[in-house]
Amino acid sequence: MRVSTVTTLPAMAAELGVVYATVEGVNEHSFDECLELLCQEAQERRATALVGLQLVQSQFQWNQRTSLIATAVKE
């Protein structure tokens, strides 16, 4: 799975929709765990790439979460 912030898609690429993943915690492993879930969701849609990956980490005392959102693309 390729991850890119490129805003212009190749001519034959098609957007498959937004994919989202979230895990509990904000620590040194939470980003990797969340990225793995995001890639799994994208692969279920038969995506070959993720574009415009956005990371959100909330560190409220009662709700520490790491979330990722991206656009799934088939090239």
* Structural domains present in the chain: 2-74 (3.30.110.70)
In this prediction, residue 4 carries a pLDDT of: 64
> What tokens does 31 get?
């980003």
In this prediction, residue 42 carries a pLDDT of: 96
Q: Kind of pairing, strands 63-74 and 14-24?
A: antiparallel
Whether this prediction's pTM lies above 0.85 is answered by: no
Could you state, in chain order, the average pLDDT of each consecutive group of 10 residues for the chain (75 residues)? 67 89 93 95 94 87 89 90
In this prediction, residue 53 carries a pLDDT of: 86
